[in-house]
Structure 1
Amino acid sequence: MPGGCVAYIAPMEQRLKHALEVVLVPIAAAVVFLEQTLIRYLNLMMAAFARWPPVARVEAFLQRLPPSAAVLAFAAPSILILPVKLSALWFVAHHRFVLAFAAVALGKVLATAIVARLYRILRPNLLALGWFAWADRKFFEWRDWAYAFVRSLPAWRKAADLIARMRVRIAELVSGLLAR
């Protein structure tokens, strides 16, 4: 009887795994794509903004902060985003759902841009704190593991192959149009 039970569970686990892949891989792909694209362009935008002399002076000041003050500077955007979240609640209370969503989305993008820039500027100071260095290392180990796991899934590989073929086909179409 136990052998029959195991034989029944294994196909069920395979179906569950396949169903999860079908559901989770597109979501994971979208998250990875958005994260990488958003961070890339936000970093470019913030680097351009940092060339403005007043911002450059603020960044130079931040780079000289001791580690304990750097933690406060790094956490500040979390507090600064609070008015945006409160405005979103106000919009919801007044049935302005699109404005609420827009406020949250804009706030999230701005906070992400600021935090990413602060991370880049303050990271050397923050790594002087043992707990931060540990958390930083663990976070990136986990992120790299999660990316590797998602990329190892058959559904991800199939999607990546399809996208690669589409890129080649689009490049062929564009080059064919430009050759005329």
Structure 2
Amino acid sequence: MHQLLRWPARALSGLASGVLALLILFEEWGWVPLQQLLARIGRWPGLRWIEGWVRSLPPWGAVGLFALPTALLLPVKLLALWAMGHGHVVLGLAVIALAKVGGTAVVARLFTLTQPALMQLRWFAWTMAHWMRFKNAVLERAHATWAWRMARVLRRHWVQRWRRR
């Protein structure tokens, strides 16, 4: 019986590892540039006060603020699924992709602004420390692989071509 359970457990473990790797890859290559873009936008006149207000939130106010992007994007994603169900698959996928990138940018910026307040919560600081330890261990293993090194070379090449334009 144990033999029958090993295959599904390995398959689920591999799937979970793949999802975590994609999450870490997206965070590594997407989180920082998106956050920096929103930081530049946040410097525009009239928007600075919003960032100041977010920075001044107490810890639980900062936690509550993270529900806002989810609450605002859920109807957009549901509308995209509705469009896909009515034959507009490309439009639906594009809306979901844009919502994901936009939501990630907003959450990344919110996290940067509220991290000092969030770190005052013991459970959050504990979770963050464990996440960073886990993430760094995964990244250390990933950085040693041929695929990662090749991806970095391709990314560097792509960025250089983009900047030349």
Q: Which TM-score tier does this pair reach, normalised by the shorter chain?
A: 0.7 to 0.9
> Which residue is 1:84 aligned to?
76
1:41 matched to 2:28? The reply is: no
- Following TM superposition, the consecutive aligned residue runs of length 4 or more in structure 1 with deviations greater than 4 angstroms are 30-34, 160-167
What's the CA shift for 1:133?
0.8
Matched residue count: 142
Could you tell me whether the CA contact under 8 Å between 1:74 and 1:122 is conserved in 2? Answer: no
TM-score, structure 2 normalization: 0.72
2:66 match: secondary structure: helix
- The percentage of counterpart residues that share the same residue type is 34
Quick one: distance in 2 between partners of 1:136 and 1:77?
20
TM-score, structure 1 normalization: 0.67
> Which residue is 1:146 aligned to?
138
Give structure 1 stretches of 5+ with no counterpart: 1-15, 175-180
Q: Judging changes above 3 Å, is the alpha-carbon distance between structure 1 residues 100 and 112 closer, same or farther for their aligned structure 2 residues?
A: same
What's the CA shift for 1:151?
2.8
> Which residue is 1:127 aligned to?
119
Could you tell me whether the CA contact under 8 Å between 1:67 and 1:129 is conserved in 2? Answer: yes
Quick one: distance in 1 between partners of 2:95 and 2:153?
38
Q: Judging changes above 3 Å, is the alpha-carbon distance between structure 1 residues 60 and 91 closer, same or farther for their aligned structure 2 residues?
A: same
Give structure 2 stretches of 5+ with no counterpart: 1-9
Moved more, 41-50 or 105-114: 41-50
Q: How large is the Cα RMSD of the aligned pairs?
A: 3.0
Q: Judging changes above 3 Å, is the alpha-carbon distance between structure 1 residues 63 and 98 closer, same or farther for their aligned structure 2 residues?
A: same
Moved more, 65-74 or 31-40: 31-40
